[in-house]
Structure 1
Amino acid sequence: MVIRLTPIGNDRKTRAPIIAVLGHIDHGKTSILDYIRGTIVQEHEAAGITQHIGASFLPIADIVDFIGPVGNKMKGRLFIPGLLVVDTPGHAAFINLRRRGGGVANIAILVIDVNSGPQPITWESVRILRDRKVPFVIAANKLDRLPGWKSDENVLSFREAVKNQRPEVVQSLDNKIYSLMADFTSEGYKMVDRFDRIKDFTKNIAVVPTSAITGEGIPDLMLILIGLVQQFLKDNIVYSDGPGKGVVLEVKSSKGLGTTVDAIVYDGYIKRGDTIIFGTLETPIETKIKALLQPKEMDEIRDPRHKFNSQDIIHAAAGVKIAAQDLDGVVAGAPFKVVWDEEEKEEVIDSIRREMQEIRIEVEEKGVILKADSIGSLEAIVKLFKENNVAIRRADVGHISKKDVIDAATSQQQDPILSVVLGFNVRILDEAMESANREGIRIFTNDVIYRLLEEYKAYVDAREEEAKLTVLSALVSPARLEIIPEYIFRRSNPAVFGVRVLKGTVSPKVQLVNQDGERVGKIHQVQLNNKSVQEAREKDEVAISINNITFGRQVKETDELHVAVPESHVRVYRTRFKDEIRPDELDALRDYVKVMRGKEGPWWGI
């Protein structure tokens, strides 16, 4: 299928703008697209709507009819041939796809449930749109679920539908939109407003209340979308009558075709038999196009083995499946260009190589293994992880494999915290899961980039806390004790007497020294209320027993006792755990250090 082109003057032509529909799970992004497609198909038996690979082409004439009277007034003034709407639910990474100068999408519809407001995936989508410099319109969806909202199947225009609502319902909607505006303000977008209150669309992001169930507001959404493209984006959709350029959506293994590439052609056109250059993470690949395939209409599919129509030529903008040899190494997000002139081939290869080199992913000798669904996603995730000081050993595109797990396992002895594999929007292959279970390697996957980071950081915090507790539990706790003279129960074999814990924590099996740093003996047992205990803390009064001493010789009633903390432990406390122990334990440690420096010299414990 060849999309018709429309002149806009000076022999320039425009292609269909590429539209991304995105938003949080269950906010209705698929439902809105289904409503638009379904309505056009119902109203036009021989509708011009066509399914592309991963996209739908909506002809402008059908959109205008769908919009209604306002759309009919625009006839004759429209120069775009239609809209190519990418089905982002099936290609979640699409908005992350890049090309020089920004994203592949020309404009986006950001779908938000007007009742529950923005959610985590919403903000991730917003940040990606901002990074890729893609303008967007907000569809404040699920209007029909607003308490008290009355729908009329004959009224789809929001401007008209809102007139039929009770004042308190209109106020409730306004409050939700004001809340939405406040959320976007905190994200750095100062000018967000309901579309029918905006005078300057160059400075404001339009919010269009919609319902994918009743269709209310969707004609307004399409009208705003077309208006923005016509007025502000015409330079972005100029079509060149030259060799096709595009970006890879997905690399697949197709029955009877071998490895194929699902792609978006965003400029020029491509033909069966063309030489095509694909970018890879290594060296660009040169191959020839064996087939260009687009889906048959649903009613044409009789045999699942023959669900594609073969095309001789594909013009931008279009979604297409490309069959060719030697596609190993091609990854989602990679750019491609067609070569018509053999003399220009090296120049094209160099330009593809330079474009791939713009994706600079610096790795380190030690670090985590990152996997993502496309190059664009990989860029975004690497950027976020580096901003959060996470070392990256390898970053790659594709599902998590056994090799990834083996690579992660090599870091296990050096740094277990870095011995992990993290995947964004990818699957864990069975052999990788088996290997991970066998090697004890943690794998994290998520389809929200910042959540992947949060999960990893939580894991790091937990592991560091475990390590800290392990080290702390191995350290001798400091304590300062005073003898209670009236509680001398036994003077020898063993000596048993009462002590008051002034500061810190005392336990069995620790050595004691006196106020001069002289060793007294090792505590055999600690009793509180005639019961053996494993520790006693500040203000506790306990009985302790010490073998091989005589009370009155090695220890006297007037002595002040300290737990003998090894000098190496003192250094660990001072450098790593000063903030991890109780204030009274820290005081006890300082008192003990003072005693030992009086005996051993001023550098003791440093």
Structure 2
Amino acid sequence: MRSRGMSLCDIAVVVVDIMHGLEKQTVETLALLKDRNVRFIVVLNKVDRLCGWKHCPDAPIKKALENQSGDVKREFGWRLTKVVTQLKENGFNTALYYDNQKFRKVFDIVPTSAISGEGIPDLLLMLVLRSQATMMEKLTFVNTVECTVLEVNDDKDLGTTIDVVLINGVLHKGDQVNVCTKQGPVTTTIRDLLTPHPLKELRVKGIYKHHKELKAAQGVKIVARGLKYAIPGTSLVVVKPGDDLGQSEAKSQRNENEEGNVIQEISRLKTCKEGVYVQASTFGILEAIIEHLNSPGVNVPVSGCNLGPIEKKDVMKASAMLKRKEEYAAILAFNVRVMPEADVLASESGVKIVTADTVYKLVDSFNEHIKRSKELKKMQCAANAVFPCTLKILPNRVYRKKDPFLCDVEVLEGVVKVGTPICVYVGGTVHGLGRISSMQTSNGNQIDSAKRGVVVSVKITGESPKEKTWLYGRHFDESNELISQISRRSIDVLKEYYRDEMNDENWQLIRRLKKLLDIA
């Protein structure tokens, strides 16, 4: 998205945090600006965070610096030097704008505070001056329409609309235009041209101004039929009266090439075999979401992605995770419409569609979904979660010798819980006794679990006819150790859902019991 944005950019503003210097994404952006030979101004923001900074609201930065103490000026100086050095390492000569005598070779740095407004007048002044000095030829108006699609949006009143940047030429209500879509070039008629009211963003929903014609350069919302599958980043071509279909298709050839570029850009996004499916309205948003999901603090894998409304094919792709990792069978949808048939299929197949109005809320909602899914899965697998334990039968404290077997035991290792299957190791062979149906302390209180060193009374109830036939004193006695009857399945469940309840001693006991019970 940054790459396509540079193609529309005549002059750029690169914002750098004075407290952190150049970040990785800033270096990447600078490289793109350099490749496309785009002039830029470096905004050294957050000067108000310098220790001891005295606020001078909306003042020119030079005047604001004059009012600071010596310590603040020194800190500003060395932080400025650090940023200038980093920029020079990336091939850019920079200087404070009021010290810059060679602005065609040296890029301007404007210190600012977005909070209190220091330096903002300087930034506006430099944008005007540098634009006039370097862009005179570029700013010459021509009649040939040059228009790029930025976003595709669904509006409950207007239907599917596209937000475009009209770089050159004039658009009229009723013009025939050719739009590049996922299904190929589509010719449609402009039903309405909309712009926001002054000081309002085009993306903010609200009341728009209606126009019969609009002249470059500005952002425009276009209402027309057939825009559902329009591809952001492609060009919009006006079909002039008298143009035949062949000419229109020839003009759309560039769009087809751009469509391929967009698809290639999507395919280059970082994905893996197991992960969520991401859907967004524009490539830029899609790129930002995936980058955020792949960041170390979030670490949510992405298996696939797409642009535009969520359709049945997207749900089918996301449903592939049901057989691999069920909690990742989800679509993170941002600023896109969910088609009715896709919503029905998602409900039937078990694919979760997560929507939110910000990327952070989207991730939070997904994490909450993961948490609920794991808790539900944990409850479903609770019967298979057999914790490791070894028990010693206390002599002369056996109260019932046959099924159900009732005695006092000491927990030698691990943790014993109600429902744990118990077996006894006799003569080199393991024999099942049943499950612990209840436990209580010496004072008669019923408990659900007991850890190492605790003495409890246990009631072991046989589940199979063979288990019910075993008698204390005939088949086994206090010299035989009781152990939990773990299995490959129970170990996998503990690893997946109960890892936080296990410690190193428990894992060591599992390794010993695996050998004893001959578990692979």
Which of the numbers 529, 541, 563 marks the counterpart of 2:455? 541
Between the aligned partners of 1:575 and 1:487, the Cα distance in structure 2 is 38
- TM-score, structure 1 length as denominator? 0.60
- The runs of 5 or more residues in structure 1 that have no matched partner are 1-95, 299-303, 597-603
Change (3 A) 1:408 1:418: farther
Between the aligned partners of 1:430 and 1:174, the Cα distance in structure 2 is 56
Which of the numbers 419, 422, 425 marks the counterpart of 1:511? 422
Change (3 A) 1:543 1:502: same
Which of the numbers 247, 252, 264 marks the counterpart of 2:165? 264
Deviation at 1:358?
0.9
Higher relative contact order (CA 8 A, sep 6+): 1
Between the aligned partners of 2:355 and 2:207, the Cα distance in structure 1 is 36
Do 2:97 and 2:109's aligned partners in 1 also have CA atoms closer than 8 Å? Answer: yes
Is 1:209 aligned to 2:117, yes or no?
A: no
Deviation at 1:320?
4.0
Between the aligned partners of 1:436 and 1:557, the Cα distance in structure 2 is 57
Which of the numbers 512, 515, 520 marks the counterpart of 1:594? 515
Partner residue in 1 for 2:253: 350
- The runs of 5 or more residues in structure 2 that have no matched partner are 200-205, 462-468
Which of the numbers 433, 439, 444 marks the counterpart of 2:355? 444
Partner residue in 2 for 1:174: 76
- TM-score, structure 2 length as denominator? 0.68
Between the aligned partners of 1:258 and 1:592, the Cα distance in structure 2 is 64
Deviation at 1:352?
0.2
Partner residue in 1 for 2:230: 330
Q: For 1:554, what is the secondary structure of its paired residue?
A: coil
Change (3 A) 1:355 1:272: same
Is 1:605 aligned to 2:516, yes or no?
A: no
Deviation at 1:357?
1.4
Q: Percent identity among equivalent residues?
A: 23
Aligned residue identity for 2:261: E
Which of the numbers 388, 395, 414 marks the counterpart of 1:485? 395
Q: Which moved more, 1:517-526 or 1:277-286?
A: 517-526
Which of the numbers 419, 441, 447 marks the counterpart of 1:528? 441
Do 1:284 and 1:353's aligned partners in 2 also have CA atoms closer than 8 Å? Answer: yes
Between the aligned partners of 1:463 and 1:180, the Cα distance in structure 2 is 48
Deviation at 1:245?
1.9
Partner residue in 1 for 2:65: 162
Change (3 A) 1:142 1:407: farther
Q: CA RMSD in A?
A: 5.5
Between the aligned partners of 2:169 and 2:111, the Cα distance in structure 1 is 33
Deviation at 1:443?
1.9
Deviation at 1:478?
2.2
Deviation at 1:577?
7.6
Q: Which moved more, 1:410-419 or 1:428-437?
A: 428-437
CA offsets 1:419-457 (integer angstroms, 9 cap, x no match): 433233458899999999998945232434x76446535
Deviation at 1:512?
1.7
Deviation at 1:571?
6.7
CA offsets 1:452-497 (integer angstroms, 9 cap, x no match): 4465356436634653565365232222223333645565676544
Partner residue in 1 for 2:280: 372
Which of the numbers 386, 390, 405 marks the counterpart of 2:302? 390
Is 1:314 aligned to 2:210, yes or no?
A: no
Paired residues for 1:54-65 under 5 Å: none
Q: For 2:429, what is the secondary structure of its paired residue?
A: coil
Partner residue in 2 for 1:105: 9
Which of the numbers 327, 350, 354 marks the counterpart of 1:417? 327
CA offsets 1:127-185 (integer angstroms, 9 cap, x no match): 995696474532637969997746599xx53323433x142685498399669969x99
Partner residue in 2 for 1:59: none
CA offsets 1:27-69 (integer angstroms, 9 cap, x no match): xxxxxxxxxxxxxxxxxxxxxxxxxxxxxxxxxxxxxxxxxxx
Count of residues in Structure 1 that have an aligned counterpart in Structure 2: 479
Do 1:359 and 1:379's aligned partners in 2 also have CA atoms closer than 8 Å? Answer: no
